[in-house]
Structure 1
Amino acid sequence: MILKEMTSEDCVDVLARGHIAHLACARDHRPYVVPIQYAFESPSLYGFSMPGQKIDWLRTNPLVCIQVGEIENNEVWRSVVVEGRYEEFPDNEQWHDERLHAWSLLEKRSNWWEPGAMKPSPAGETGKTVAPVFFVIHIEGVTGRQSAAGGN
């Protein structure tokens, strides 16, 4: 297996093809990583979530890292790491167009709201109506590596 750095263009191609990522954030010197669905529109990634730990942490520290991977098999894979900054689109008139734009990008994929809209609730608790959170990750840097079997 050969390992090599990916070009910026190759990284963008992986981001454009993908829709599932791992988002890492940190608060009080503790890391937190969760899967998200995203939509890529250069130079940004758009996402959706219900309020919870991830959103609380992102509001406290907007610096994030996102990893997107493509795995063909154990010897052929690509991994792209994005460094960026979280910005929330509040549910108000001022951010209406941005929320609508994020929604329009995300809804192009089936089940785009999963896992963002799925939040576990304690036993016996009924669902409460809570406004979803739409957000953008402003990409500040992208790197990638890929492997190839037999030096391809």
Structure 2
Amino acid sequence: MPVIITEMNRSECLGLLSSQRLGRLACCLDGQPYVVPVTFASDGNYLYGFSLTGKKIEWMRTNPRVCLQVDEFAGHGEWRSVIVDGKFEELPDRMGWKHARDHAWSLLSQHANWWEPGGLKPADENPTPHVFYRIIIENLTGRKSVTEPD
């Protein structure tokens, strides 16, 4: 059976983002890329996440330009993949950010273990403060494959 690859429209891209919880977040500092798995929740304009402070957060604070990749494999040559280009925005625990933080928490907490992997560090590391953040979706692209009958 032949496989056809097509572009996904914005609605299809947003649909995949809303159905998935795990993505690969890329950030960059001084020309060095860094990619890490993250859990997220989507509301159409933003992707919300949670993390302890560390390399990812420090790099995004310095350079807020990020990219997130999400995919889904259905088997038999069928898959979908979306790439989000966006901008990191921290949701600090202070006045003016309460609504955004509460919204992030409400979306993320709808799923069991929503704080993993961002809320976990290796056992030998000291705990660090947690951070709620969002990625402002600036551009979406997606592709999908479809198996056509012979």
Give the counterpart of 2:31 among 14, 29, 32. Answer: 29
Deviating more after overlay: 130-139 vs 87-96? 87-96
> In structure 2, what is the equivalent of residue 106 of structure 1?
108
Specify the code of the residue in structure 2 equivalent to 1:48: F
> In structure 2, what is the equivalent of residue 15 of structure 1?
17
Give the counterpart of 1:83 among 73, 82, 85. Answer: 85
5 Å-filtered alignment, 1:1-152, equals 1-73=3-75, 75-122=77-124, 127-128=126-127, 130-150=128-148
* TM-score in terms of structure 2 length: 0.92
Q: CA RMSD in A?
A: 1.6
Q: Percent identity?
A: 47
Secondary structure of 2:96 counterpart: helix
4+ long deviations beyond 3 Å? none
Deviating more after overlay: 54-63 vs 70-79? 70-79
Secondary structure of 2:36 counterpart: strand
Paired residue total: 148
Deviating more after overlay: 49-58 vs 98-107? 98-107
Question: Structure 1, residues 43-65: CA drift from partner, whole Å, max 9, x if none?
Answer: 11100000000001000100000
Aligned residues of 1:2 and 1:151 also touching (Cα < 8 A): no
Unpaired runs of at least 5, structure 2: none
Question: Structure 1, residues 92-120: CA drift from partner, whole Å, max 9, x if none?
Answer: 23322221111111000111000001111
* TM-score in terms of structure 1 length: 0.91
